[in-house]
Amino acid sequence: MLRFLTTMRLGVTQPSALHIRLNSYARQHPLYKALKDLGRLYRIIFCASR
């Protein structure tokens, strides 16, 4: 996950490339699961801060 974020920050990779790549993975892939859990955490924090 850090590798994808670093390449996006450096401008080497577009976020759409990450989206395409994640859609080609199985739902059991560790990166897919990690990003899904991260999204849940952001939602919990955002909703709790309201």
**Domain limits of the chain?**
2-48
Six token digits for residue 4: 């994808």
User: Token pair 């080609």 is at which residue?
Assistant: 24
CB-based burial of residue 4 (10 Å sphere; 0-12 exposed, 13-18 middle, 19+ buried)? middle
Is the pLDDT reported for residue 16 higher than 80?
yes
- What is the pLDDT, as a whole number, of residue 18? 79
Is the pLDDT reported for residue 44 higher than 80?
yes
Tell me the pLDDT band of 23, cut-offs 50, 70 and 90: confident
Is the pLDDT reported for residue 1 higher than 80?
no
